[in-house]
Amino acid sequence: MPLAYIILSITGLFVLFGFAHRVLDRMKMTDTWALIIIIGMIIGTFLPAIPLGKKMSINIGGAIIPAAVAVYLFIKAERGAERTNALVSSILAGTAVFLAGRLLPSEPEAMFIEPNYVYGIVSGLIAYLFGRSRRCAFIAGVMGVILSDITQGLINIVLARPGTISVGGAGAFDTVVISMIVAVFFSEILGETREKIQGGTAKKNTEPHLTSSLLSEDEIKAIKEKYRKKDSDDDEK
């Protein structure tokens, strides 16, 4: 079984049991839609690819469906800066994947890991580093791989090279899935950690520094305790 099917199946179980609810909520998606998308991607890989000419085709499950989700998230972006960041991150991720395809050996036996897995990891990491949000990371992770495939297909057409490019098909499906999961995973885990650290720092900075000689030591302790109790109540809410 291809690695992408295993990853999507595990992701589907996480969604089904509610473990991915917070991530999906922040990406403006519901659990139901996430499951539909995962099932659609798997089924879509078994459907005939849509031809884009004599030397290029596009896979429904590996390119059309994830690209449609990326477009949806792009439209749902709350700020213009986030959309710009998504576009720039997608171009950077696509460039990284394209260059990796040129620099790394294409034969699996020449590396200790499948090249398509490397492309997915590279795209996902670039998407995370420059995406700055879960939505942008997902968009860049998906579109980076797709843009790289399209670029290679256009080069083959211009230079009249033999062979065809299936955008999101075959091994590229593994690359797309790995890229989007890596991007969102790092954005969630490291992003959540960063938010907690910043939140803790903010609370620390808001604690009153009482040094007035007009207050006794006991009064200062009482006021500090009052603020600590208020912060504790806010955390519980």
Rounded CA-CA distance 48/52 in Å is 12
**Per-residue pLDDT tens digits for 60-90:** 999 999 999 999 999 988 788 889 999 999 9
Specify whether 109 is located in the same domain as 213: no
Specify whether 179 is located in the same domain as 222: no
The two tokens of residue 230 are 């208020």
Specify whether 46 is located in the same domain as 89: yes
Assigned domain for 32 exists: yes
Assigned domain for 203 exists: no
pTM of the model: 0.77
For the chain, residues with pLDDT lower than 50 are 202-204, 206-214, 234-237
Count how many domains the chain has: 2
For residue 214, the enclosing domain spans 208-236
What pLDDT does 224 receive?
Answer: 61
Specify whether 155 is located in the same domain as 96: yes
